[in-house]
């Protein structure tokens, strides 16, 4: 299960949303019972179960990118600026593989298609992680 850690203290979170720390603690207990978060001393972890509720989608996507050889170096630099999780330079029929979270997919595709030197992209969305 993927987990996303909140680094702010409970006091800061309660102040940011305008409730007391005690009220926040009551809400956190309910969220923990529902399996949306894990808590401990000094941390709050959001589980994957909460992602659809906060408007995030689960899973990743991979974008395979083919570049024009003479324009590879400037294209690599532009690709490094994209909001992606990982960038792999690979051998074979393609030049780059981008790993991106599904909520960012449309934005990344829009931006990558404006990069000079990008010849072709193919996108693959993960539907299940087998191992």
Topology of domain 3-50, CATH: Arc Repressor Mutant, subunit A (1.10.10)
What is the predicted pLDDT for the residue at 35?
85
Residues whose CB falls within 8 Å of the CB of residue 73, separated by 6 or more in sequence, listed in order:
none
Q: Which CATH architecture has domain 60-125?
A: 2-Layer Sandwich (3.30)
Q: pLDDT tens digits for the chain (131 residues)? A: 556 677 788 888 889 889 998 998 898 899 889 888 888 777 788 777 776 676 655 678 999 999 999 999 999 999 999 999 999 999 999 999 999 988 889 999 999 999 999 999 999 988 767 77
Within 37-95, strands assigned E span: 37-40, 43-47, 60-67, 86-89
Q: Is the pTM of this model over 0.75?
A: no
- Map out the domains of the chain as residue ranges: 3-50, 60-125
Q: What is the pLDDT of residue 77?
A: 98
Closest CA to 106 of 68, 57, 54: 57
């Amino acid at each position: 299960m993927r987990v996303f850690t909140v680094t702010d203290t409970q006091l800061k979170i309660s102040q940011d949303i305008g409730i007391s720390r005690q009220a926040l603690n009551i809400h956190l207990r309910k969220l923990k019972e529902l399996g949306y978060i894990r808590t401990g001393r000094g941390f709050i972890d959001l589980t994957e179960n909460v992602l659809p509720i906060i408007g995030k989608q689960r899973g990743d996507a991979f974008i395979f990118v083919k570049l024009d050889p003479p324009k590879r170096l400037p294209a690599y630099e532009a690709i490094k600026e994209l909001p992606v999780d990982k960038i792999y330079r690979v051998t074979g029929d393609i030049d780059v593989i981008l790993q991106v979270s599904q909520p960012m997919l449309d934005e990344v595709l829009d931006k990558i298609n404006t990069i000079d030197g990008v010849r072709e992209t193919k996108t693959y969305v993960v539907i299940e992680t087998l191992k």
